[in-house]
Structure 1
Amino acid sequence: MESIVTSGDISSAVVDFSLLSLFLRADLVVKSVIIILMAASIYSWAVIVEKLVKMKKLKQLENEFDEIFWSGNSFEDLFETFNYNQN
């Protein structure tokens, strides 16, 4: 009743578990979900990088404003400087 497994039987039963082979052997639904998740991940990282770039630019603008604000000029000069830059 019990079968004896030899080392030759084990070596012939080795299955490739690489990501590519698992993807290629997967069902259409699984492939679709994987592709959708990868696209969502790429989009998320793009948004993260965009926000980091914007935050860096805002930090630079904040530092420029602080430097001008604390320079000791009058508020009229400060208003004219920033009103001129907006137009």
Structure 2
Amino acid sequence: MTVSSLVTALLVGAALGAGARWLVPATRGVPFWVPVAVAVGAAVLATVVARFAGVDTSGVSAVEVFLQVVFAAAGVALVAGTADRGYSR
């Protein structure tokens, strides 16, 4: 994994995680940092998967960024879907 791939993964993950925070309903008990951390981790995982799949990761490629976006979005959707709803009684 190159430095540019890691920086791209961090930026994609942070942007999607922060953006997803606006989409997660306020009634969910999810701290701000959870979607961001999950999205960053998923984007880094996507870079690793792209490398194992044979995608050229010597620089930033469109396939790698696409995989990062898909993995990060899936990770955030999983967190948002399984988060505690924080019902009021």
| TM-score, scaled to structure 1 | 0.34
Larger RCO: Structure 1 or Structure 2 (Cα < 8 Å, ≥ 6 residues apart)?
2
Q: Which has the larger radius of gyration?
A: 1
Larger helix proportion of the pair: 1
